[in-house]
Amino acid sequence: MATLDGPTHQIRIRQHFTYVNQSDKGLSTLYFNDWNHAYSNKNTALAKRFAEEFNRSLHLAKDRERGKTTIRTIVDQNYAGLDWNRIGNMDYIAVSLNEVLKPGESIQLFFTYTIRLPDAKFTGYGHLNNQGFNLKDWYFTPAVFDDDWKLYNNINLDDLYTDVTDTRINFTYPEDLFLASNYRTSNISNFPGGHHVQLLGDNRKNCEIILTADDRFTKHVTEHVTITTDIESNKYGEIAQGISINRVSQFLNENLGRYPHGNLLVSEFDYSKSPLYGISQLPSFIRPYEEQFQFEMKFLKTAIRNYLKESLYLNPREERWVNDAIGYYLMIKYVEEYYPDQKLAGKLSRIWGIKNFHFAQMDFNEQYALFSMLSARKNIDQALTTRNDSLIKFNQKIANSYKAGLGMSYLSAYLGEKKVDSTVLDFYQNHKLKQYVSAKDFHNTIKKYADKEVDWFFDSYVNTDKKIDFKIKKIKKTEDSITFVLKNKRGTNVPISVFGLEKDSVVSQYWFSGIDTTKSVTIPRQGEDRLVLNYDQKIPEFNQRDNWKTLNGFFSSNKKLKFQFFKDTEDPYYNQIFYVPIVNFNLYDGITPGLRLYNKTFLERPFQYDISPTYSFLERTLVGKASLRYRKYHNKTGLFVTNYSFSTSTSHFQENSRFTTLTPAVSFGWRPDDLLSNRRQYLLFRYRNVFRNIDENLEGQLDTEPDYGVMNVRFTDVDNNILNYSSWFIDAQHSSDFTKVAFEWEYRKLFQSNRQLNLRVYAGKFLRNTTESNFFSFALDRPTDYMFDLNYLGRSESSGIYSQQVIIAEGGFKSKLENPYANDWIATTNASTNIWRWVEAYGDLGFIKNKGQNTRFVYDSGVRLNLVTDYFELYFPVYSNRGWEIAQDNYEERIRFIVTISPKTLIGLFTRKWF
């Protein structure tokens, strides 16, 4: 019995549970899932998971917004009280029995408890602002015992693993709400102030309930299954929606078999938890798809997910990939069957200016290879058998699901569609509603129908993150045959398809397997003018740019150049060069429009170039930058990447005074074994060459040589966590005039009280310094930036608004103190803490030492408006070595600001949680 109190967001529960020991072991302790308790405090697994994804909402939540479980009593059938405990902040409870429960025996338990539902803003579950409720995993369910207990925390992955039960829930809820559930409803009655309903689920998992302020769910009774849904389209008629829903239900029945329960819940809320990522998430007024296609894909995606989840009882935390493989394979099959000509860009593919993009020419189903390869190209792909809670968010939400479905499509192309369709149908019909189903059962079913060897699919494709990459070499042709060599570039021994094309028509197709390194094959000639590997994109191949060979001679095999506006997907048949207009700004060049030329596609590639010439209207000359980079990925962990680069830039640092840099560099990157960790370590070697052309009117003011070179070595260790951020680096520089070392440590801590402390320590020392100026000296508040690393808007300004820009480097001070340079050593500390929300108090103190002078103690303090950390901040000095600055003249000139206008840097704020 469960009674929902709307105003307090609490559910009072009295639960009668009969537990049968189906194992062969005696049990003295029983475990029950209590996932509502995951919202109870700042130290739960859910709160920590949020922090890993740069989400502070649960940490900063008020107590009234949190969920919580309060247990009153737990007794057995003899009404004897039972001891229970919750280990730490775990989302399950352990109930100690008074006697050992022997195999085959049962015990009745009676729970009395109250749950307070969380605010739905955290995960979507709980109470909504409009008085609605989304309930899932809300009451106690038995944990699974399979040789040992399968105990998992709630970390917002929707993967609760619980035993199968026969459940009856007498549910009472407020009169102004409407109910929809995945369970059957019975004995519906009304009374003053509320409703009562009995929810019935036989051989089911958890009961889901959606309570809404409006009656928006409709029931569709199809030939095969009864569907309750609120998914709709304003521009697609109700009758047409009914026809589409019937088509989907028929498709699922034909490919999976009859749904074993009385009701399938397909909700807008469920879709929002697992949407079709990509172009289909654009606002409705600019979505490129026809209404029917858009509605059916949305409905199909959610229906398949719930169809499988509610009837195939695999362990979703450890073997989720099986449901993904079946589900996304059926989505691919549905589009091939009903929408074979559908383009990924939809109606946009017919618009002038867009239709020439390779993206616009891609079929809808090619997105699965595109998104799964996005992860592989970044070297963050993970095996399909990786536990759900160990997946990077992008893999957990998108890439691994797509790769699983694409793998089934791969098998279908290799074995034949009928064999894979029979596998899916057989597996579902023979394993639905069974309590302990595993991926091994799926493996055995595939082998049952396969007439070819398929162990490669599990050994290489499913169980590892090995890349697939082949190429064609050494073609020889005669009048009646073609001989060529297939090279396995990655050593991943899987089958590869070869297509023969005459113009754009397929005239032959072959499969070859057992290729460890190279294999010479001969095929009959049937008019082919090209041979193409993986032409139908069924195989998620790492690099398709070398997948084709022409039979018309060497020169015709050279790819043509393709100049294209803006970034695009990778087109393997062209050498793509992208161009896009850009605009930069600094005080001396003014607004500098230009053109950026680059080869970076949506998928990362090893070699990249980026050339950005711009025109300075103030100086009436060309400025800009260019870079070449080769990136080599190694392992997933440990030393995972090496970058080789050469870059150059040129701009002006004063009127009619230009600087130019040339920088060869190599860097190495390390990451920990836990790919979810945000910790990274880098070792950089670079040699910065600086050339300066000085205005003749300024030549007498320059106190250093105009040209110089600096060898720079830096080791950086950063752990980017929103609750506990820490980073440090050691930096060494050597040139003909000086040698110096520096150390920086930065730490940010968000405490349980929601107070945040920011600390930074910087120390630097000259080992050798023969210069007579402060150009290479350490600085308290505004480094000279002789390496030209910092993005100053007006780097040579000593007064005016541009001089008030602060970049936290070296001393990190905000006040402009007298004699702010140190040509011997410097040691400073910067600290701040919040007063109210983003208003903080800051303070800086330190020591600086110049040759031949006494050590000076320096300090400043003030108020910081930390609007977006490191991106937009304001500093208001209050007190320093100069006294009460706030009371002095021209105070507005002392206010400092941080501003970041780089689009790439700002975009990183939103993408960092995914990778």
Q: Note the pLDDT of residue 592.
A: 94
The number of beta carbons lying within 10 Å of the beta carbon of residue 707 is: 12
Q: Which helix (H) or strand (E) holds 190?
A: strand 184-191
Rounded Cα gap, residues 685 and 315, in angstroms? 47
The whole-number average pLDDT for the span 683-696 is: 92
Q: Note the pLDDT of residue 859.
A: 97
Q: Note the pLDDT of residue 797.
A: 87
φ, ψ for residue 502, nearest 5 deg: -115, 110
Q: Note the pLDDT of residue 754.
A: 84
pLDDT digits (tens, 9 = 90+) for 300-329: 999 999 999 999 999 999 999 999 999 999
**Would the pLDDT of 779 be above 70?**
yes
Q: Are 404 and 385 in contact (CB under 8 A)?
A: no
Q: Are 377 and 603 in contact (CB under 8 A)?
A: yes
Q: Quote the mean pLDDT of the chain.
A: 92
Q: What are the CA-CA distances from residue 222 to residues 107, 226, 227, 246, 259 (Å)? A: 41, 6, 8, 6, 12
Q: Note the pLDDT of residue 686.
A: 98
**Would the pLDDT of 459 be above 80?**
yes
Q: Note the pLDDT of residue 549.
A: 84
Highest mean pLDDT among 277-281, 430-434, 896-900 belongs to 430-434
The whole-number average pLDDT for the span 667-680 is: 94
Q: Is residue 855 part of a domain?
A: yes
Q: Is residue 164 part of a domain?
A: yes
Q: Note the pLDDT of residue 537.
A: 82
The parent domain of residue 5 ranges over 1-216
**Would the pLDDT of 882 be above 60?**
yes
**Would the pLDDT of 556 be above 60?**
no
- Token code pair at residue 229: 């849904």
Rounded Cα gap, residues 648 and 646, in angstroms? 7
Q: Is residue 759 part of a domain?
A: yes
What is the share, in percent, of the chain residues with pLDDT greater than 70? 96
Angle at CA of residue 224, ends 223 and 226, nearest 5°? 90
Q: Which of 523, 525, 548 is nearest to 535 (CA)?
A: 548
Between helices 400-415 and 417-431, what is the axis angle to 10°?
Answer: 120
Residue 573 or residue 627, greater confidence? 627
pLDDT digits (tens, 9 = 90+) for 822-848: 999 999 999 999 998 889 999 999 999
Q: Is residue 141 part of a domain?
A: yes
Rounded Cα gap, residues 497 and 533, in angstroms? 6
Q: Is residue 18 part of a domain?
A: yes
pLDDT digits (tens, 9 = 90+) for 318-358: 999 999 999 999 999 999 999 999 998 888 888 888 888 88
Q: Note the pLDDT of residue 910.
A: 61
pLDDT digits (tens, 9 = 90+) for 731-758: 999 999 999 999 999 999 988 888 889 9
Q: Note the pLDDT of residue 867.
A: 85
Q: Is residue 801 part of a domain?
A: yes
**Would the pLDDT of 554 be above 60?**
no
Question: What DSSP string describes 744-766?
Answer: EEEEEEE-TTS-EEEEEEEEEEE
- Residue 234: pLDDT band with limits 50, 70, 90: confident
Three-state secondary structure along 90-126?
CCEEEEEEEEEECCCCEEEEEEEEEEECCECCCCCCE
Q: Note the pLDDT of residue 75.
A: 96
Q: Note the pLDDT of residue 902.
A: 64
The whole-number average pLDDT for the span 446-471 is: 94
pLDDT digits (tens, 9 = 90+) for 170-196: 999 999 999 999 999 998 999 999 999
Q: Note the pLDDT of residue 911.
A: 67
Lowest mean pLDDT among 238-242, 450-454, 542-546, 907-911: 907-911
**Would the pLDDT of 284 be above 90?**
no
Contacts of 235 (CB under 8 A, 6+ apart): 291
The whole-number average pLDDT for the span 456-462 is: 95
- Residue 114: pLDDT band with limits 50, 70, 90: very high
Rounded Cα gap, residues 35 and 57, in angstroms? 18
Rounded Cα gap, residues 74 and 93, in angstroms? 11
Rounded Cα gap, residues 494 and 442, in angstroms? 19
Q: Which of 491, 542, 482, 476 is nearest to 510 (CA)?
A: 482
Question: What DSSP string describes 402-457?
Answer: HHHHHHHHHHHHHH-HHHHHHHHHHHHHHHTT-SS--HHHHHHHHHHH-SS--HHI
Q: Note the pLDDT of residue 715.
A: 98
Sign of CA pseudo-dihedral 297, 299, 303, 305 = positive
Q: Note the pLDDT of residue 913.
A: 66
Q: Note the pLDDT of residue 853.
A: 94
CATH code of the domain in which 156 resides:
2.60.40.1730
Q: What are the CA-CA distances from residue 294 to residues 63, 288, 339 (Å)? A: 41, 9, 11
First-to-last CA distance in the chain? Answer: 43
Q: What are the CA-CA distances from residue 774 to residues 76, 196, 517 (Å)? A: 81, 80, 60
pLDDT digits (tens, 9 = 90+) for 401-421: 999 999 999 999 999 999 999
Residue ending a domain, choose from 514, 532, 558: 558
pLDDT digits (tens, 9 = 90+) for 121-159: 999 999 998 789 999 999 999 999 988 999 999 999 999
β-bridge mates for residue 612, sequence order = 625
How many folded domains does the chain comprise? Answer: 3
Burial of 500 (0-12, 13-18, 19+ CB in 10 A): buried
- Token code pair at residue 551: 């039979």
- Residue 872: pLDDT band with limits 50, 70, 90: confident
Q: What are the CA-CA distances from residue 331 to residues 299, 327, 405, 535, 684 (Å)? A: 11, 6, 8, 20, 46
Q: Is residue 839 part of a domain?
A: yes
- Residue 557: pLDDT band with limits 50, 70, 90: low
- Residue 606: pLDDT band with limits 50, 70, 90: very high
- Residue 903: pLDDT band with limits 50, 70, 90: low
Residue ending a domain, choose from 494, 527, 558: 558
What is the share, in percent, of the chain residues with pLDDT greater than 90? 76
β-bridge mates for residue 586, sequence order = 590
β-bridge mates for residue 632, sequence order = 642
φ, ψ for residue 409, nearest 5 deg: -65, -35
Q: Is residue 760 part of a domain?
A: yes
pLDDT digits (tens, 9 = 90+) for 483-494: 999 999 998 999
Q: Which residues of 713-741 are buried (b: 16+ CB within 10 A; e: fewer)?
A: ebebebbebbbebbbebebebbbebbbbb
Residue ending a domain, choose from 216, 239, 265: 216
**Would the pLDDT of 640 be above 70?**
yes
The number of beta carbons lying within 10 Å of the beta carbon of residue 520 is: 11
Q: Note the pLDDT of residue 279.
A: 62
Q: Are 633 and 641 in contact (CB under 8 A)?
A: yes
Angle at CA of residue 743, ends 741 and 747, nearest 5°? 170
Residue bearing tokens 């192309």: 413
Angle at CA of residue 148, ends 142 and 149, nearest 5°? 30
What SS3 state is found at 271? helix
Lowest mean pLDDT among 50-64, 106-120, 206-220: 50-64
Give, as one character, the DSSP assignment of residue 143: B
Q: Note the pLDDT of residue 573.
A: 78
CATH code of the domain in which 475 resides:
2.60.40.10
Q: Are 613 and 625 in contact (CB under 8 A)?
A: no
Q: Note the pLDDT of residue 553.
A: 66
Q: Are 728 and 744 in contact (CB under 8 A)?
A: yes
